[in-house]
Amino acid sequence: MLKVGLTGGIGAGKSEVSRLLVSYGAVLIDSDRIAREVVEPGTPGLAAVVEAFGPGVLTGQGTLDRPKLGSIVFADPGRLAVLNGIVHPLVGARSAELEAAAGPDDVVVHDVPLLTENGLAPVYDLVVVVDASPETQLDRLVRLRGMSESDARARMAAQATREQRRAVADLLIDNDGPLEALEPQVREVWERLTERAARA
């Protein structure tokens, strides 16, 4: 089994790279999706979040009010650390379960947005970074996701710098161009991953 960490800044196009890798045969473990699953209604994760932050972080339907919680934790590093202390171990445990279920010859891709920020590069056999210029990221966030420019810039500023991400990359995918320029690069990366998996 080859364990691959996949990361990139917000708006760099990591989701599209994940989708392509899955289409070639990768087993995807998506940290963001798992982070949502571990705080769904009825989970111990949601109970722990409510205990830490109060019932005000719930919607009327009893689900987590993400914007409300975000406004609390992103303004206060201490509160963010509390939230991460609840969610990260749950995500880690679920990721480990999913990885254990993969076959010995599989290429397992862990999609981890904050891989660089959390110093996780050494956990993986290889790290793939999806790279785009800050200008491209900003344009995509505003034009495609409908964010305000100030919100997009704040989200980008909260992440690792482009240089920090590039420094942990074993393989780099340049996603500054159009979508059709991305696919051949991802296919080439996939070929290198499968070769490495076969050697392992």
* Burial (CB count <10 Å: 0-12, 13-18, 19+), residue 103: exposed
- The topology under which CATH files domain 1-26+106-200 is Rossmann fold (3.40.50)
pLDDT band at 74 (very low <50, low <70, confident <90, very high): confident
Contact 38, 160 (CB under 8 A): no
Range in 8-12, 75-79, 91-95 the model is least confident about:
75-79
Residues in the chain: 200
Q: Which residue has tokens 């942990």?
A: 168
**pLDDT tens string 23-50:** 999 999 999 999 999 999 999 999 999 9
Share of the chain above pLDDT 90, in %: 78
Residues with Cβ within 8 Å of residue 77, at least 6 apart in sequence: none
Other C-beta atoms lying within 10 Å of the C-beta of residue 25: 11
- What confidence score (pLDDT) does residue 15 get? 92
Other C-beta atoms lying within 10 Å of the C-beta of residue 170: 16
- What confidence score (pLDDT) does residue 115 get? 93
Task: Output helix, strand, coil percentages for the chain, rounded to the nearest 5.
Answer: 55, 15, 30
Two structure tokens written together for 46: 């949601």
- What confidence score (pLDDT) does residue 30 get? 95
Share of the chain above pLDDT 70, in %: 100
* CATH 3.40.50.300 location in the chain: 1-26+106-200
Can you tell me the mean pLDDT for 158-174?
A: 95
Q: Is the pLDDT of residue 1 over 80?
A: yes
Residues with Cβ within 8 Å of residue 69, at least 6 apart in sequence: 49, 53, 57, 83
